[in-house]
A and B are shown apart, each in its own frame.
Chain A
Amino acid sequence: MNKNKIGKTALSGIALLLTAGAVLSGCGGSGDGGASPDGASGGKSNGKKSKVTVWYLWGGKEGEVIEGAIKRFNESQDQYTVEGLSVPDEQKIKVAIAGGKGPDLTDSFASNVAQYAKEGIALPLEDLIARDKYDMSDFVPATLEQGKYDGKLFALPLNINMNAMFYNKKLLADAGYSEPPKTSKELIEMAAKLTKTNGKGEIEILGFPSYPGFPFQALTYGFGGTYLSPDGKKATFDQPGALEALKAIYDYNKQFGVDNIKQVQATGKWLDPTDPFMAGKQAIRFDGPWLSTFMANNNIKLDYGLAPLPYLDGHEDLAGSNEAQSSIFYIAKNSKNVDGAWEFLKFMYSAPELAKVTGGMGNIPARTTSMKDPVFQTIADADKFMEFAQNANVKSLPNIAQLPDLLNKVVKEEGEAVFNLKKTPEEGIAAMQKRAQELLDK
């Protein structure tokens, strides 16, 4: 049999295959695939402990903190046994839930809540809350909003994730500064002066917070800007905050070279002793409380200071502007043990437990009662972050189903074009505004 014949045979085989496939799917096809939400049963029964599976995205030390809460829960009662599992890949969790083999309870980021609610992955919590008259009055209101979609609560916020400005005191002093930048103008001026390059133009000291990535979102919110109106119906990229943020990045990239900055972004690993900030090679850094905790836990001796993000020059009323995000826990809609998942959720979110969990991770808890827990006095910078978190200028992105597309497509694509100097900041903002509004109007 020669090759040409093989070719013809293969093609005639396709015809055969297609016909047979069509016939087969005709009789067998059209699977409805709906994972039936038969969850609400299960749970309390005949004295035997029922199993609750909890998956979490954290690994390593943070995963151990969750395991600690699980252990304490299992010891505290004899109705349920929680089995914890670290699954650091969010797609995997979603796919597993879709396959009916997922966890009863799992975590994610607030920006996904709307999509999960809409897709039918997450279970609304209203009934459970009403049944148990669960008290949520001490949750920081902005974080609670993060668990809502369409007015209904689908997830409980665990923490308040916020960036603040870390600065290397020695590098600032070397450049003649005793204070960190307070305004956008000071930030831009100081960043340029703090940056040191070698003869080839390669950056030795990064003055701008472009590590680990380009800080467009943090700068926008720090400058008092927003991506969306609070109701999620209007795109607001055309306000000064976003434009000034993009300009700051663009100008810095233009002055020091995109290639050189990307080279720095590829050195070291974020949250690792090789991280440029910890290695003393980054003067200004926007990052969250975990950076403080990491440095404290890993005994990294760096003389750094912590300050609020700079605000838009000339707008002192915007001081303390920032964006808060939350990690959230939600119950899977097809959970076979909703009651067990809910009991564990309540346990983990009780004021002392929430303090232990978030404190153990170096995070700020979403409940004010937990914030008062003495554990936070021993956690590096926790007091400062709590103070920043309670500023009236802190905002959150509204939960709308289009959020992942907005962030992953519109902002990422247009932002990238500007970082890489392929569009001017003005063009980038105009495109973001137009495309975002189109997305919202869909």
Chain B
Amino acid sequence: MTMVTRKIVPYTLLVLLSLVFAAPLLWLLSTSLKSKDQLFVTKPLYFPSAPRWQNYADVFQTIDFVRLSANTLLVTLLTVAGLLISAPLVAYATSHIEWRGKKPLFAVVLATLLLPYQVTMVPLYIVWSKLGAIGTYVPLVLPAFLSAGAGYYVFLMRQFFMTIPNSLVQAARIDGASEFRIYAQIMLPLCKPVIATVGVLVFLSTWSDFLGPLLYLNDESTYTLSLGLYAFMQTHYVEWEQLMAASAMFTVPIIVLFFLAQKQFIEGIALTGIKG
């Protein structure tokens, strides 16, 4: 009996909770397949008997969904690349190089976590506007190449780097390997899990970022999906069912990404050793 309850109780709980968590998204799907006159039907769990797939096709007529997706992908990939190039460098410098700045710099990394982005928002906007960069992707992407505002990711990486025994690095140094070789050929391969995890985290947050594009993009041809959908909503004649279909298409890629990366993703965090 205990065996049975021990299995069944959590299982039922899991299934029920999964339903609760999935319900809003199922609602999104069902709305995206409704026709206009079914939108305000007041029946819960109502799923249109004749799903209107045309809504999805219509999205491509109403907004330039392909371009929005391409823009979003471009910004996201550049940001991920920028961060994955710059963040491991400083993570290495604050974990395995014995230099004067090792500790103070790490302290600064932690401090930046506490600095609200609102503090830098206005002056940065002014700097970018003086440089004539408003309306381009530069303000969105360039900071990533310098790990700016990425304290959290640097921190995650550094904690992981700390778990790699220093003796490995020392041995290579004694063998006369250059510091960059040690970094590229010993450290990075060992740290793949955290690099993957941070890559996925950055991908997810950039893909959905709203405030950055809201501040810096103003030409519809450069809009990302978040901003494009927001603009779509702001216009008067919102086609709700299309907006739902567009949102579904916006969300699906990241669900797929998470599902594929899931195992490694959780391992990456498990190994990040925040307790360190």
- Quick one: CB contact mask for A59-103 with B, threshold 8 Å, 1 for yes? 111100000000000000000000001111100110110111110
Of B71-79, B127-135, B174-182, the one with at least 4 CB within 8 A of chain A:
B127-135
Q: Please provide the chain A residues from 174 to 201 with a CB less than 8 Å away from any CB of chain B in the complex.
A: none
Q: Are B237's CB and A99's CB within 8 A?
A: no
Q: Are A271's CB and B237's CB within 8 A?
A: yes
Kindly state the interface size class of chain B when it binds its partner: 35 or more
The answer to the question of B220 belonging to the interface, with a C-beta cut-off of 8 Å to chain A, is yes
Closest chain B CB from A58 CB (angstroms): 8
Residues of A within 8 A of B236 (CB): 59-60, 62, 270-271
- Other-chain contact of A99, B108, B115, B128 (Cβ < 8 Å): B128
Q: Are B240's CB and A269's CB within 8 A?
A: yes
Q: Are A31's CB and B130's CB within 8 A?
A: yes
State the CA gap A10–B132 with chains docked (Å): 35
Residues of B within 8 A of A96 (CB): 134-135, 218
The answer to the question of A22 belonging to the interface, with a C-beta cut-off of 8 Å to chain B, is no
- Other-chain contact of B125, A1, A99, A272 (Cβ < 8 Å): A99
The answer to the question of A3 belonging to the interface, with a C-beta cut-off of 8 Å to chain B, is yes
Residues of A within 8 A of B127 (CB): 31
**A60 and B125 in contact, given A87-B220, A273-B37 (Cβ under 8 angstroms):** no
Closest chain B CB from A65 CB (angstroms): 13
- Contacts across chains A and B counted by CB atoms under 8 Å: 104
- Quick one: CB contact mask for B210-239 with A, threshold 8 Å, 1 for yes? 000011001110000000001100111110
**A9 and B110 in contact, given A99-B129, A101-B218 (Cβ under 8 angstroms):** yes
Q: Please provide the chain A residues from 269 to 285 with a CB less than 8 Å away from any CB of chain B in the complex.
A: 269-274
Q: Are B135's CB and A86's CB within 8 A?
A: no
The answer to the question of B109 belonging to the interface, with a C-beta cut-off of 8 Å to chain A, is yes
Kindly state the interface size class of chain A when it binds its partner: 35 or more
Residues of A within 8 A of B230 (CB): 89
Most buried by A among B113, B230, B234: B234
Closest chain B CB from A4 CB (angstroms): 12
**A101 and B132 in contact, given A17-B115, A60-B236 (Cβ under 8 angstroms):** yes
Q: Are A16's CB and B108's CB within 8 A?
A: yes
Q: Are B129's CB and A274's CB within 8 A?
A: no
Closest chain A CB from B27 CB (angstroms): 16
Closest chain A CB from B106 CB (angstroms): 7
Q: Are B235's CB and A6's CB within 8 A?
A: no
Q: Are B218's CB and A274's CB within 8 A?
A: no
State the CA gap A89–B162 with chains docked (Å): 47
Q: Are A274's CB and B40's CB within 8 A?
A: yes
Closest chain B CB from A5 CB (angstroms): 10
State the CA gap A16–B109 with chains docked (Å): 11
The answer to the question of A46 belonging to the interface, with a C-beta cut-off of 8 Å to chain B, is no
State the CA gap A403–B131 with chains docked (Å): 34
State the CA gap A98–B162 with chains docked (Å): 46
State the CA gap A274–B275 with chains docked (Å): 55
State the CA gap A11–B123 with chains docked (Å): 24
Q: Are A102's CB and B113's CB within 8 A?
A: no
The answer to the question of A33 belonging to the interface, with a C-beta cut-off of 8 Å to chain B, is yes
Q: Are A10's CB and B237's CB within 8 A?
A: no
Q: Are A14's CB and B111's CB within 8 A?
A: yes
Q: Are A17's CB and B112's CB within 8 A?
A: yes
Q: Are B107's CB and A100's CB within 8 A?
A: no
The answer to the question of B148 belonging to the interface, with a C-beta cut-off of 8 Å to chain A, is no
Q: 10 shortest A-B CB distances, which residue pairs?
A: A13-B111, A13-B107, A59-B235, A99-B129, A10-B110, A99-B134, A101-B134, A96-B218, A88-B234, A14-B111
Binding site for A on B (CB under 8 A): 36-37, 39-40, 103-104, 106-115, 123, 125-130, 132, 134-135, 162, 214-215, 218-220, 230-231, 234-238, 240, 275-276
Instruction: Pull 19 A–B residue pairs with CB atoms less than 8 Å apart, ordered by A.
Output: A1-B276, A9-B103, A9-B106, A9-B107, A9-B110, A10-B110, A13-B107, A13-B108, A13-B109, A58-B235, A59-B234, A87-B220, A89-B230, A89-B231, A96-B135, A99-B128, A101-B132, A270-B236, A272-B36
